[in-house]
Structure 1
Amino acid sequence: MTADGLRPLLERVRYEVLPAKTTEEKVLAHVPRDVVVTVTASPVKGLEPTLDLTARLGAHGYRVVPHVPARLLRDDAHLKEVTGRLREAGVDDVFVPAGDANPPAGAYDGALPVLRRLSELDSPFARVGITGYPETHPLIHDDITIQAMWDKREHATYIVSNLCFDARVLGDWIARIRRRDVVLPVHVGVAGPVQRAKLLAMATKIGVGESTRFLTRHASWFLRFATPGGYSPERLLGRAEEALTAPSAGVAGLHVFTFNQIAETERWRRALLDRLAN
């Protein structure tokens, strides 16, 4: 890896965390204030834990990006309430995925209607993120996911790519969305230095029903994390460096899925930055 290419991406990093009991304590202990923290939302626990943690971390001086899944919003009044609470907490950046709640909590079954409604509400957030899928979505064809990004481009300001473990697939996807004239900057989703045992423990803690869905949908993740030499974020970044750092790629930074292994993730990032500096 070269310092000129990857160091800026590691410096413009976002850490995705889950709103668990110890998350606030871990973030305060290990995450610098210049690192953006994004807070997920659970279809089991709803939006409240996300909104609460977002407000608390914001009060500590962090720039926090809450996930607001469309399928967790009950109706227009609920969207307005959530928007008001986030603006009151100083939030100016939200991530709007469709979400996994099945059935949806209300009328919104996808992200686009929520994005349109936010635009109708005079775009209360300066930055709005949407999802990209480098690896095939388990339920949606690739052409449809790329078309969805095109449809959302008027209402969003950036894309966060879902996890990808294959440098070639990641590079091909970036090239493909650019050929389709999707020009929004991309924050590339990368798994941190995840330990399989801790990942399993985390999946168990998020709830019986949800953890079952998590393990079923992401069985390949556990195989990659468990196999000796199967996954290394540093190796993935090295292999994908050319694709990520090309000016035409429009990569704005890294979105690191910490799976709440927050201390380990920040130690890994600092160590890698130190090595790139030498």
Structure 2
Amino acid sequence: MTAPGLSGLLRRVRYEVLPARATEEKVLAHVPRDVVVTVTASPVKGLEPTLDLTARLAAHGYRVVPHVPARLLRDDAHLKETVDRLRESGVDDVFVPAGDADPPAGTYDGALPVLRRLSELGRPFAEVGVTGYPESHPLIHDDITVQAMWDKREHATYLVSNLCFDPRVLGQWIARVRGRGVTLPVYVGVAGPVQRAKLLAMATKIGVGESTRFLAKHPLWFLRFAAPGGYSPEALLTRSEGALTAPSAGVAGLHLFTFNQIAETEAWRRTLLDRLDG
């Protein structure tokens, strides 16, 4: 990949973290304040850990984007309470996926009704992100996920793509989205430099977070991580150069799944930036 293209993407990153006990300490120790931090939500633990960590990180001066899964919201009153808490913390950007909770905690079974309700509440957040699926969703047909992005476009301001390991598939997905007339900026989801031993240890824990659940639903993807030499974020970015840097692609930056390997992710990013800049 050309240095300017890769450097630009590496400077426009978002770090996805899990709301675990040591997450705040890790972020403070390793993540610069100009890096956006997104906080996942677990169907086992509910929204409270996400809201709590979001407030603490925002108080430290980070721009924080909490995940607010529709299926974790009990009702309109719970949504309004969540909005008020986030606004009080200075949050102006939220990510609204459907979520994994089964059954749902309340009346919302998908993201679109929540997005519509946020619009009815006067659009309390300047930025609202929704999910895209370059590789097939385990439960939803590809055509439906693309149609869903079209339906959400009036209520959202950007897309975040889920994990994808195939540059060809990623490029085709971006072309399909643009071909359908969806013009929202895209943050491309990329797994960070995951260490095999740590990932395997994390996978044995129950309820650790949405990211690990996602891997559990995609065993072939998990094998790509776990196999020695099986995954390299730099290789994926290099092979995806054309898809990610074309002006028509509308790629706003990278959404890095850290799996809470925060120090390793930032060290990898800095090392690669230093090498490109040098």
- TM-score (normalizing by structure 2): 0.97
For 2:194, the equivalent position in structure 1 comes to 194
For 2:179, the equivalent position in structure 1 comes to 179
Aligned partner letter, 1:197: A
Equivalent pair of 1:44/1:210 in contact (CA under 8 Å): no
Paired residues for 1:21-32 under 5 Å: 21-32=21-32
Equivalent pair of 1:70/1:96 in contact (CA under 8 Å): yes
Paired residues for 1:97-246 under 5 Å: 97-207=97-207, 214=214, 216-246=216-246
C-alpha offsets along residues 224-259 of structure 1, whole Å, 9 cap, x if unaligned? 012233210000000001110000000000000000
Q: CA deviation at 1:211?
A: 9.6
| Worse-matched range after superposition: 123-132 or 203-212 | 203-212
Equivalent pair of 1:70/1:111 in contact (CA under 8 Å): yes
- Within 2, Cα distance between the matches of 1:212 and 1:25? 21
Task: Percent identity, please.
Answer: 85
For 1:273, the equivalent position in structure 2 comes to 273
Q: CA deviation at 1:275?
A: 1.2
Aligned partner letter, 1:91: V
Cα–Cα, structure 1 residues 23 and 222, in superposed 2: closer, same or farther, change >3 Å?
A: same
- Within 1, Cα distance between the matches of 2:210 and 2:243? 34
Which 5+ residue runs of structure 1 have no aligned equivalent? none
For 1:64, the equivalent position in structure 2 comes to 64
1:77 aligns with 2:77: yes
Q: CA deviation at 1:276?
A: 1.1
C-alpha offsets along residues 56-79 of structure 1, whole Å, 9 cap, x if unaligned? 000000000000000000000000
- Within 1, Cα distance between the matches of 2:94 and 2:212? 27
Which 5+ residue runs of structure 2 have no aligned equivalent? none
Q: CA deviation at 1:277?
A: 0.9
Q: CA deviation at 1:124?
A: 0.1
| Worse-matched range after superposition: 189-198 or 30-39 | 189-198
Aligned partner letter, 2:107: A
- Within 2, Cα distance between the matches of 1:196 and 1:202? 10
Equivalent pair of 1:203/1:214 in contact (CA under 8 Å): no
Specify the SS of the correspondent of 1:91: coil
- Within 2, Cα distance between the matches of 1:43 and 1:127? 24
Q: CA deviation at 1:35?
A: 0.1
Aligned partner letter, 1:25: E
Q: CA deviation at 1:51?
A: 0.1
- Within 2, Cα distance between the matches of 1:268 and 1:224? 19
| Worse-matched range after superposition: 74-83 or 211-220 | 211-220
- Within 2, Cα distance between the matches of 1:84 and 1:208? 27
For 2:38, the equivalent position in structure 1 comes to 38
- Within 1, Cα distance between the matches of 2:63 and 2:93? 9
- TM-score (normalizing by structure 1): 0.97
C-alpha offsets along residues 182-202 of structure 1, whole Å, 9 cap, x if unaligned? 100000000000012211222
Equivalent pair of 1:31/1:266 in contact (CA under 8 Å): yes
Cα–Cα, structure 1 residues 214 and 171, in superposed 2: closer, same or farther, change >3 Å?
A: closer
Cα–Cα, structure 1 residues 140 and 235, in superposed 2: closer, same or farther, change >3 Å?
A: same
Equivalent pair of 2:19/2:49 in contact (CA under 8 Å): yes
For 1:87, the equivalent position in structure 2 comes to 87
Cα–Cα, structure 1 residues 87 and 249, in superposed 2: closer, same or farther, change >3 Å?
A: same
Equivalent pair of 2:16/2:257 in contact (CA under 8 Å): yes
Specify the SS of the correspondent of 1:205: coil
C-alpha offsets along residues 196-225 of structure 1, whole Å, 9 cap, x if unaligned? 221122233343898995553031222101
Aligned residues: 278
Q: CA deviation at 1:102?
A: 0.1
Equivalent pair of 1:96/1:111 in contact (CA under 8 Å): yes
Aligned partner letter, 1:233: P
